[in-house]
């Protein structure tokens, strides 16, 4: 893998998959181009190649009725040339089984400065045997579209080829030939797919005197068969698909694949032999980028003047890069990995993630503080200790050596490094997470720490669940007619606060600011209105975000047969329908991060009513999560308290029934009613 | 504006003209002190940025546009407007003379001297859709950014165009000019009117000009009419002859021409006469005859409803062009328009008084005859006189039941064609009761609160039609999932829904019937010795309607509808009803609901009816509509209280 750092859309250079949706507004034009009259010429004498024809009567791998297509054959051939350049041939054949399988007929191949497509063909063999054929000249080129997320320019492009007649029952196939000159020489074979695979082949052709090393991930090793002349073949048959499910680990983190390292004559391993190698390569790439010039010195001085203490100065610099340097991605050639000089980033007032890290690192240097690049994949599980060293990173953050003078309990995203001391991890691209903390997706994730002496894979800290959560306190009064009214305060911290800030900062009119609170209320209350509402600390990420509002909910308690039925849980839902699907779940469930939510709801009961029944208390500790709730009445006030803590970031498949039970338990608790009866009855 | 592609609506070959420089700014305009100081726009509270000034100068003689934008950044999020992307079609168009600068809050100026990138957006044979992109530097909250450029359009052509006054951002001031191409007739209109205080466009020496100010930002909302209907805009339409100023004369002329074309298409008496004899029996009553002709027309292969094909597939299939109704009949295929005109021919051949009607579907825009844009009459209907009643039929709209029109063709004006040009007719809007979702359930409640049993859902009228059209390309597995999801959306989460029958997906029968096994765990909640059960089993469908208190745009419903629920629940042995909520009802001509619970022995009957008999609701009535749905939700949450028999309690 060879992802670019800081790219909002990760790419797979060697991946050949049905297209993901393209961004609007050019989508319509893109689709129109695929079917544009005159764009694709009929080849009336077309014929399919033998490798595809051989699949016409091939048996299908095991599949269920929801399977939209099966891969009946795939073949990848990597030919290494003596100068280290690579040629790659990919062939795929699918049998389309359902209308949804038509998507497999859109072939997409990625191209950039290191990759050239030298051949592109697609075929369809329908039931009547009259072959359709399309070629490279029929393909549509497109780039990453839009600038809304600040991704301004990249040389990554795609070539998309629509295979005709991709109808259920038809056999389709395609062939892609590429010449590659990657920064890190090596290869990966994605053995497993999201559809069942009947037969998949990988062939490695090396120059004389070369050798290889193969590492299998998420799969037992499959032995290669040597066919002479430095040629090796691997074959795997009848593979189950990786089922894509909501909140699952990253696809590549669980799919079977083989990573191939190449060893030149003399035993020199190409590519990155170790994380150390990769770190050294990057350090060289960024060697002079953190130089401090006069403008940076002046800016640091201006930003820190009058601020007492080292920590305050560090926070001021971090906030400047977080908030005042706008995110703009311009990634051409090596610019996908190499940052712009810090001075340039400051002068432009914009940059991408590695640019922001570069500038902040330079500014810290001016304060006398050491800091380091940390390359990371924002999807936890994509890179682990079992992953061979590669460039499968898509983001850059910073690790700061915290000086003793700046030590503070608020700096929670830290680890004690054996050589570098206390290291604080910080993401200056994330303007919503304060200096000292780390958002959930980066926690307990592995990043490549690039220090002058080493490149090493380190595990980032997992923060306490207390640092993330929503705490709601309600002081309400219930009238005898069922109307509920009172004040609610919500204190949001960590990731939930970041999400709330993100939603609110994106609003373009004041009347939309109440929208998130309205949504929560509407989820729980059939009829309500806000009497007043206020937000605190929207722009101050160092402090918890707060909602304070007063609310009136008509018909909240229901009168029935003289009884007043009242739900102690006023609003906010912790339950989930994630595991309520009819098909058995196959993948573990991944949480964004640790979290602890709590509610304290006081409801003053109307005079003339007494409590007849209260919901039972709940204490459910499943190890990975803890849920507790209790209703009690003191002095005619019904007090409902509850807490929900996510303690572990992942729930394995053998615990999913427990997670489902927990969600159902919470769902029941959230709906349960207290019964009030007329006093004295 | 630089961030949006202007789509040409029409292209006519021109003879080449000289470029005349119009009122475009060659230099930056002066910055007013109040623009520098501005921290928030009182007329656009909460805005992330606003247009301080915007100018578009278009010249259709040497087709080109000069654009000038000045934007004030008010929040961090607003800085994204400093990332500029100007799309254009490479090869036929070009973008040049790009200048940009940042005016910092202290008034100092930083000119843009960075790189302008030429980015491929889509490139295929014959199409090169590129964009000039660049990032304006050092942009902070409080900065003013401005940029200008020249966009040269395809030479040799003249395009219809628009001035879009309602932008993504609030606009303090904007100026538009269009130097018209003189060899073709040009009409311009502003169908939604103009922003308050804006004078109508004026023509001076061949240049149309407009200045506007204080134009609100356009915001998107759920359930709103088509965006085109809500944005202030001026449309420019070229034609090869002047439409004149007399609206009636324009449509009469168009009506006559269209009538001739339709008549030419259906003038196949022998073929159609023979077809009629195959379709109907001589003794069939007129209504039955008409229904048979309609049903047979719908059996014609309607290529408008087939998914897109590649060029190769189309060529290989080699469908010959359809030129007459006889072609449609003999070859067995046609597009939706052709199928409807075939039906017209068949109806006439069967002796019916039938007229062609051209209508404008209301899914993209609302038709305005005064605009004199005949292209907006984009679909067709047949008016048949039967027993002095008008029937409006469109068999070319697949899956539409006899007697109904697809929703987009209802409640619109249609031009009935005749040799004299015709007249305007109003297409009917079906009543709510014509498009229903009826849910009948027979369920058993267990002592642990689970509901289980049979559910039958009958979709009728347009409720059936849109579902059939929506699922036309899907297989049984997907259709099953679709129908099950429709029920799951309405019932509590965690419910188990299994389709048990094989619905009729292929016809345009008035109803689509789906039968299910339904299981709702925990529907009744235990409260000590009681069980509590809400009356709104299917209430989730309306749970999130109109959550928001604020509303900017009118509400838009595609068609009136009615939901009727009839649920029988057999109580578990040993349990009895302690109390049921009183009957709930809210009567009204446009919105109504009723909800009632009856008991018969050990069976509870829950009946609920919701009628939504509206299409367009002005903003001033939004609170009333929201209040209605809040009352409905409160009604759905009313509780039935069950208690155990004394004897059962002992056990």
> Is 50 exceeded by the pLDDT of residue A114?
yes
What digits encode the pLDDT tens for the residues A456-515?
A: 999 999 999 999 999 999 999 999 999 999 999 999 999 999 999 999 988 889 999 999
B95 neighbors B150 (Cβ within 8 angstroms): yes
Contact B494 A513 (CB under 8 A): no
Rounded to the nearest 10°, the torsion over CA A491, A496, A501, A503 is: -130
If one counts every other C-beta atom within 10 angstroms of the C-beta of residue B612, the result is 22
- Classify strands A469-478 and A595-604 as parallel, antiparallel or unpaired: parallel
Torsion, CA A304, CA A307, CA A311, CA A313, rounded to 10: 0
Query: What's residue B650's pLDDT?
Result: 57
Whether the upstream peptide bond of residue A547 has omega within 30° of 0, thus cis, is: no
Q: Where are the alpha helices (DSSP H) in A593-680?
A: 656-671
B126: alpha, beta or left, given left = phi > 0 and alpha = psi -120 to 50? Answer: left
Query: Judging by DSSP bridges, how do beta strands A618-621 and A115-125 pair with one another?
Result: unpaired
Q: Mean pLDDT over residues A241-263, rounded?
A: 92
- Closest by CA to A275, choosing from A375, A423, A420, is A375
Contact B579 A66 (CB under 8 A): no
Report the C-alpha gap between B559 and B466 in whole angstroms. Answer: 11
pLDDT tens-digit readout, A309-336:
999 999 999 999 999 999 999 888 888 8
User: Do residues B622 and B614 make contact, with C-beta atoms less than 8 angstroms apart?
Assistant: no
Task: Let me know if B193 is exposed, middle or buried by CB neighbors in 10 A (0-12, 13-18, 19+).
Answer: exposed
The residues, any chain, with a CB within 8 Å of residue B211's CB and separated by 6 or more, are B173, B174, B175, B176, B198, B199
Q: What is the mean pLDDT of residues B242-271?
A: 93
Q: From CA B559, how far away is CA B561, in angstroms rounded? A: 6
Q: Taking Cα atoms as reference points, which of B334, B530, B481 lies closest to residue A613?
A: B530
Nearest one of A344, A592, A75 to B135, comparing CA atoms: A344
Question: At B468, is the secondary structure helix, strand, or coil?
Answer: helix
* B72 CA: distance to closest CA in chain A (Å): 14
Cβ within 8 Å of B, A 250-289: none
pLDDT attached to residue B12 = 37
Distance in angstroms (rounded) separating the CA atoms of residues B503 and B515: 8
CA distance B610 to B639: 19
Q: Which two tokens stand for residue B418?
A: 């005749």
Q: What sign has the CA pseudo-torsion B140, B143, B144, B145?
A: negative
How confident is the model over B208-219, as a mean pLDDT? 97
Cα(B136)–Cα(B145) distance, integer angstroms? 8
DSSP state of B324: S
Mutate to test the interface with A, among B50, B83, B474, B632 (most CBs of A within 10 A): B83
CA distance B611 to B560: 8
Candidate ranges A6-10, A537-541, B512-516; pick with highest mean pLDDT = B512-516
Judge: A518–B548 Cβ closer than 8 Å, yes or no: yes
The mean pLDDT of B293-304, rounded to a whole number, is 97
Q: What is the ipTM of this complex?
A: 0.89
Residue A578 CB contacts under 8 Å (≥ 6 apart), including other chains:
A246, A247, A589, A663
CA distance A569 to A668: 11
Q: Are A569 and A670 in contact (CB under 8 A)?
A: yes
Contacts of B579 in chain A (CB under 8 A): 560-563
Instruction: Please give the angle made by the CA atoms of B271, B272 and B276, to the nearest 5 degrees.
Output: 125
Inter-residue contact A549 to A487 (CB < 8 Å): yes
Tell me which residue of B334, B262, B348 sits closest to B298, measured CA to CA: B334
pLDDT digits (tens, 9 = 90+) for B492-533: 988 999 999 999 999 999 999 999 999 999 999 999 889 999
Lowest mean pLDDT among A194-198, B18-22, B290-294, B433-437: B18-22
Percent of residues, chain A, with pLDDT higher than 90: 79
A150, B525: Cβ pair inside 8 Å?
Answer: no
Across the interface, do B46 and A510 touch by the CB < 8 Å criterion?
yes
List of chain A residues whose C-beta atoms are within 8 Å of the C-beta of residue B530: 613, 675
How confident is the model over B532-589, as pLDDT tens digits? 999 999 999 998 899 899 999 999 999 999 999 999 999 999 999 999 999 999 999 9
For chain A, what's the residue count?
681
Contact call for B530 and A675, based on CB within 8 A:
yes
Closest CA of chain A from B302, distance in Å: 19
**Which of A97, A92, A78, A119 lies closest to A17 in space, CA to CA?**
A92
Query: What's residue A28's pLDDT?
Result: 54
Please indicate whether, in this complex, the C-beta atoms of A150 and B83 are within 8 angstroms of each other.
yes
> Which one is the CATH code of A276-461: 3.40.50.11810, 3.10.129.10, 3.40.630.40, 3.10.620.30?
3.10.620.30
Which H or E element spans position A121? strand A115-125
Over residues A19-29, mean pLDDT: 40
CA A186 to chain centre: 25
Paired residues of A134 in beta bridges: A122
What are the residues facing B616 on neighbouring strands?
B556
Binary contact (A668, B525; C-beta < 8 A): yes
Q: Least CB-CB distance to B522: which of A150, A528, A668?
A: A668
Residue of A521, A522, A549, A669 to mutate when probing chain B, most B C-beta within 10 A: A522
CB-side neighbour CA atoms (13 Å) of B87:
19
Q: Does A42 touch chain B (CB under 8 A)?
A: yes
Average pLDDT over residues B626-631: 96
For A13-263, the fitting CATH number among 3.50.30.50, 3.40.50.261, 2.60.40.3140, 3.40.50.300 is: 2.60.40.3140
Distance from CA of A393 to the nearest CA of B (A): 25
Task: Write the pLDDT tens digit of every residue in A625-668.
Answer: 999 999 999 999 999 999 999 999 999 999 999 999 999 999 99
Chain B contact present for A36, CB below 8 A: yes
According to the model, what pLDDT value does residue A16 have?
29
User: Is it the case that residue A33 has pLDDT exceeding 70?
Assistant: no
Contact B135 A152 (CB under 8 A): yes
Give dist(CA B438, CA B608) in Å, integer: 10
CA atoms within 13 A on the CB side of B244: 9
CA distance A237 to chain B (A): 27
CA distance, residue B262 to nearest chain A CA (Å)? 28
Give the distance from residue B378's alpha carbon to the nearest chain A alpha carbon, in angstroms: 20
Q: Is pLDDT at B627 greater than 80 in this prediction?
A: yes
Show the beta-strand stretches assigned E in B325-406: 333-334, 353-359, 379-386, 389-393
Which pLDDT tens digit goes with each residue over A581-625?
Answer: 888 999 999 998 899 999 999 999 999 999 999 999 999 999 999
- Assign residue B36 a region (left: φ > 0; alpha: ψ between -120 and 50; beta: otherwise): alpha
The radius of gyration of chain B from alpha carbons, rounded to an integer in Å, stands at: 31
Q: With cut-offs at 50, 70 and 90, classify the pLDDT of residue B126.
A: confident
CA trace torsion B325, B329, B330, B332 (10° rounding): 120
Q: How far is B314 from chain A (nearest CA, A)?
A: 10
Contact (Cβ atoms closer than 8 angstroms) between residue A469 and residue A463? no
For residue A510, CA distances in Å to A646, B42, B45, B46, B50 come to 34, 11, 5, 4, 14
Name the residue facing B46 among A168, A328, A508 (closest C-beta).
A508
Alpha-carbon distance of A229 to A362, in angstroms, equals: 52
CA B476 – CA A567 distance, rounded (Å): 42
In chain B, the N- to C-terminal Cα span, in Å, equals 77
* β-pair type (A106-111, A115-125): unpaired
- List the single residue in B with minimal CA-CA distance to A329: B135
SS3 A495: helix
CA angle B608, B610, B611 (to 5 degrees): 150
* Sheet hosting strand B185-189, strand order edge to edge: B161-164, B233-239, B185-189
CB of A459 less than 8 A from some CB of B: no
Task: Return the structure tokens found at A607.
Answer: 């005079």
Residues 561-580 of A with CB under 8 A from B: 561-563, 565, 575, 577, 580
Number of Cβ atoms within 10 Å of the Cβ of B105? 15
A461–chain B nearest CA distance, Å: 30
- Round to whole Å and give the CA distance between A51 and A226: 21
Q: Does the distance separating the beta carbons of A522 and B547 come in below 8 Å?
A: yes
For chains A and B, CB pairs below 8 A equal 238
In this prediction, residue B11 carries a pLDDT of: 38
Q: What CATH architecture is A466-678?
A: Sandwich (2.60)
Residue A53 above 80 pLDDT?
A: yes
Q: Give dist(CA B202, CA B575) in Å, integer.
A: 79
pLDDT for residue A35 = 52
Query: Touching check for A618 and chain B: CB below 8 Å?
Result: no
From the list B83, B129, B219, the residue facing A152 with the nearest CB is B83
Chain B touched by A519 (CB under 8 Å) = yes
User: What b/e string do you get for A108-132 counting C-beta neighbours within 10 Å, with b at 16 or more?
Assistant: bbbbbebbebeebbbbbbbeeeebb
Pairwise CA distance, residues A456 & A461, whole Å: 15
Assess whether the region A13-263 and the region A276-461 belong to the same CATH fold: no
- SS3 sequence of A74-90: EEEEEEECCCCCEEEEE
The confidence score (pLDDT) of residue A582 equals 82
> Which of A98, A134, A431 comes nearest B477 by C-beta?
A98
Cα angle for residues B531, B533, B587 (degrees, 5° grid): 150
Instruction: Provide the whole-model pTM.
Output: 0.90
Q: Is the pLDDT of residue B169 over 70?
A: yes
CB-CB neighbours of B646 under 10 Å: 9
| Chain B residues in contact with A528 (beta carbon < 8 A) | 630
Query: Which of A202, A127, A205 shows the shortest CA–CA distance to A171?
Result: A127
- With 0-12 / 13-18 / 19 or more C-beta atoms within 10 angstroms meaning exposed / middle / buried, residue B30 is exposed
Residue range B367-409, pLDDT digits in tens = 999 888 898 999 999 999 999 999 999 999 999 999 999 999 9
For chain A, domain boundaries: 13-263, 276-461, 466-678
Which residue do the tokens 């597995």 mark?
B477
Spatial distance between the Cα atoms of A255 and A244, rounded to a whole number of angstroms: 11
User: What's the pLDDT score for residue A34?
Assistant: 56
The torsion angles phi and psi of B76, rounded to 5 degrees, stand at: -60, -40
The verdict on whether omega for the bond into residue A25 sits within 30 degrees of 0, i.e. cis, is yes
| Contact at CB, A42 and B316, closer than 8 angstroms | yes
Distance CA A669, CA B522 (A): 11
Percent of chain B clearing pLDDT 90 (strictly above): 86
Partner residue facing A137 (CB), from B77, B125, B316: B125
């Amino acid at each position: 893998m060879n992802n670019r750092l800081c790219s909002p859309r990760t790419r797979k250079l060697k991946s050949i998959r049905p297209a993901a949706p393209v961004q609007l507004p050019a989508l319509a034009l893109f689709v129109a181009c695929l079917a544009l009259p005159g764009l694709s010429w009929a080849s009336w004498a077309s014929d399919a190649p033998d490798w595809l024809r051989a699949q016409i009567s091939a048996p299908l791998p095991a599949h269920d009725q929801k399977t939209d297509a099966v891969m009946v054959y795939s073949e990848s051939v990597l030919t290494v040339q003596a100068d280290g350049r690579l040629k790659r041939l990919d062939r795929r054949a699918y049998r389309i089984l359902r209308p949804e399988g038509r998507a497999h007929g859109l072939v997409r191949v990625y191209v950039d400065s290191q990759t050239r497509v030298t051949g592109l063909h697609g075929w369809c063999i329908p039931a009547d045997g009259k072959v359709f054929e399309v070629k490279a000249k029929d393909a549509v080129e497109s780039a990453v579209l839009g600038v809304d997320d600040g991704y301004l320019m990249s040389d990554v492009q795609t070539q998309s080829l629509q295979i005709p007649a991709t109808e259920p029952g038809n056999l389709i196939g395609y062939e892609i030939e590429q010449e590659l000159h990657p920064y890190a020489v090596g290869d990966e074979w994605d053995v497993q797919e999201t559809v069942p695979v009947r037969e998949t082949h990988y062939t490695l052709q090396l120059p004389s005197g070369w050798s290889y090393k193969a590492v299998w991930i998420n799969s037992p090793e499959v032995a290669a068969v040597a066919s002479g002349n430095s040629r090796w073949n691997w074959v795997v048959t009848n593979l189950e698909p990786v089922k894509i499910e909501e909140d699952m680990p990253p696809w590549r983190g669980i799919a079977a694949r083989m990573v191939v390292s190449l060893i030149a004559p003399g035993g020199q391993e190409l590519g990155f032999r170790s994380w150390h190698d990769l770190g050294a390569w990057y350090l060289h790439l960024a060697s002079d980028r953190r130089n401090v010039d006069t403008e940076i010195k002046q800016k640091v001085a201006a930003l820190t003047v009058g601020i007492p203490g080292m920590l305050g100065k560090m926070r001021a610099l971090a906030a400047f890069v977080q908030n005042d340097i706008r995110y703009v991605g311009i990634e051409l050639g090596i610019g996908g990995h190499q940052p712009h000089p810090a001075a340039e980033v400051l002068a432009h007032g914009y940059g991408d993630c590695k640019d922001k890290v570069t500038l902040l690192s330079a500014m810290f240097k001016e304060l006398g503080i050491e800091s380091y690049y940390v390359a990371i994949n924002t999807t936890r599980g994509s890179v682990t200790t079992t992953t061979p060293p590669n460039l499968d990173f898509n983001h850059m953050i910073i690790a700061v050596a915290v000086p003793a003078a700046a030590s503070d309990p608020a700096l929670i995203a830290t680890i004690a490094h054996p050589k570098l001391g206390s290291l604080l991890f910080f993401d200056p691209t994330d303007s919503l997470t304060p200096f000292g903390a780390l958002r959930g997706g980066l926690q307990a994730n592995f990043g490549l720490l690039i220090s002058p002496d080493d490149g090493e894979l380190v595990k980032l800290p997992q923060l306490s669940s207390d640092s993330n959560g929503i705490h709601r306190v309600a002081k309400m009064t219930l009238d005898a007619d069922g109307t509920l009214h009172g004040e609610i305060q919500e204190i949001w911290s960590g990731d939930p606060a970041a999400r709330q800030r993100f939603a609110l900062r994106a609003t373009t009119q004041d009347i939309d600011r109440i929208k998130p609170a309205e949504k929560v209320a509407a989820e729980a209350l059939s009829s309500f209105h806000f009497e007043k509402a206020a937000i605190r600390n929207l722009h101050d990420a160092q402090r918890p975000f707060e909602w304070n509002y007063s609310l009136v909910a008509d018909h909240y308690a229901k009168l029935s047969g003289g009884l007043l039925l009242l739900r102690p849980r006023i609003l906010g839902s912790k339950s989930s329908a994630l595991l309520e699907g009819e098909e058995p779940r196959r993948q573990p469930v991944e949480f964004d991060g640790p979290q602890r939510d709590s509610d304290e709801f006081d409801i003053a009961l109307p005079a003339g009513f007494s409590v007849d029944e209260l919901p039972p208390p709940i204490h459910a500790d499943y190890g990975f999560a803890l849920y507790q709730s209790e209703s009690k009445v003191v002095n005619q006030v019904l007090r409902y308290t509850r807490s929900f803590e996510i303690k572990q970031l992942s729930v394995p498949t053998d615990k999913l029934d427990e997670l489902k039970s927990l969600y159902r338990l919470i769902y029941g608790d959230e709906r349960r009613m207290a019964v009030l009866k007329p006093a004295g009855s | 504006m630089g961030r949006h592609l202007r789509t040409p609506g029409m292209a006519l070959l021109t003879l080449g003209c000289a470029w005349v420089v119009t009122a475009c700014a060659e230099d930056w305009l002066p910055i007013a002190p109040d623009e520098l100081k501005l921290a928030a726009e009182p007329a656009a509270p909460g805005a992330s940025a606003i247009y301080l000034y915007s100018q578009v100068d278009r010249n259709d003689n040497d087709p080109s546009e000069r654009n000038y934008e000045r934007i004030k950044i008010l929040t961090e999020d607003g800085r994204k407007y400093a990332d500029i992307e100007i799309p254009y079609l490479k090869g036929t168009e070009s973008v040049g003379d790009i200048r940009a600068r940042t005016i910092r809050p202290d008034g100092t100026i930083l000119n843009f001297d960075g790189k302008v990138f030429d980015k491929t957006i889509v490139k295929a044979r014959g199409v090169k859709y590129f964009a000039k992109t660049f990032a304006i530097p050092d942009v902070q909250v409080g900065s003013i950014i401005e940029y200008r450029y020249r966009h040269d359009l395809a030479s040799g052509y003249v395009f219809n165009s628009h001035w879009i006054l309602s932008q993504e951002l609030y606009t303090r001031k904007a100026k538009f000019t269009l130097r018209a191409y003189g060899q073709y007739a040009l009409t311009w209109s502003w169908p939604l009117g103009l922003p308050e205080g804006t004078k109508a466009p004026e023509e001076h020496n061949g240049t149309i000009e407009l200045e506007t100010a204080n134009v609100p930002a356009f915001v998107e909302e759920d359930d709103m009419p088509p965006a085109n209907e809500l944005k202030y805009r001026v449309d420019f339409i070229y034609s090869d002859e002047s439409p004149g100023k007399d609206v009636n004369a324009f449509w009469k002329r168009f009506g006559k021409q269209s009538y001739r074309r339709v008549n030419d298409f259906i003038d196949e008496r022998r073929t159609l006469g023979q077809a009629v004899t195959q379709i109907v029996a001589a003794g069939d009553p007129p209504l039955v005859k008409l229904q048979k002709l309609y049903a047979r027309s719908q059996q014609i292969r309607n290529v408008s409803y087939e998914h897109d094909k590649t060029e190769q597939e189309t060529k290989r299939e080699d469908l010959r062009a359809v030129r007459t109704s006889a072609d449609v009949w003999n070859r067995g295929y046609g597009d939706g328009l052709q199928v409807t005109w075939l039906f017209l021919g068949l109806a006439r051949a069967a002796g019916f008084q039938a007229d062609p009607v051209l209508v404008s579907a209301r899914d993209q825009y609302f038709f305005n005859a005064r605009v004199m844009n005949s292209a907006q009459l984009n679909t067709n209907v047949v008016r048949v006189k039967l027993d002095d009643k008008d029937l409006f039929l469109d068999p070319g709209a697949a899956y539409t039941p006899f007697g109904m029109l697809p929703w987009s063709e209802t409640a619109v004006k249609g031009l009935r064609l005749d040799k004299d040009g015709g007249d305007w007719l109003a297409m009917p809007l079906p009543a709510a009761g014509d498009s229903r979702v009826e849910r009948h359930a027979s369920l058993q409640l267990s002592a642990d609160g689970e509901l289980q049993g049979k559910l039958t859902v009958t979709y009728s009228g347009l409720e059936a039609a849109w579902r059939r059209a929506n699922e036309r390309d899907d297989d049984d597995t997907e259709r099953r999932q679709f129908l099950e999801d429709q029920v799951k959306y309405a019932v509590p989460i965690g419910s188990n829904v299994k389709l048990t029958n094989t619905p009729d997906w292929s016809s345009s029968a008035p109803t689509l019937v789906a039968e299910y096994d339904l299981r709702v765990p925990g529907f009744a909640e235990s409260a000590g010795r009681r069980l509590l059960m809400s009356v709104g089993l299917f209430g989730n469908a309306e749970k999130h309607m109109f959550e928001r208190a604020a509303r900017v745009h009118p509400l838009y419903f595609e068609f009136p509808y009615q939901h009727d629920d009839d649920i029988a629940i057999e109580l578990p042995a040993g349990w009895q009803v302690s109390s049921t909520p009183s009957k709930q009802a809210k009567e009204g001509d446009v919105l109504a609901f009723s909800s009632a619970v009856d008991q018969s022995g050990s069976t509870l009957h829950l009946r609920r009816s919701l009628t939504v008999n509206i299409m367009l609701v002005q903003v001033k009535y939004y609170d009333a509509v929201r209040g209605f749905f809040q009352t409905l939700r409160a009604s759905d949450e009313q509780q039935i209280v069950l208690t155990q028999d004394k004897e059962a309690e002992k056990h």
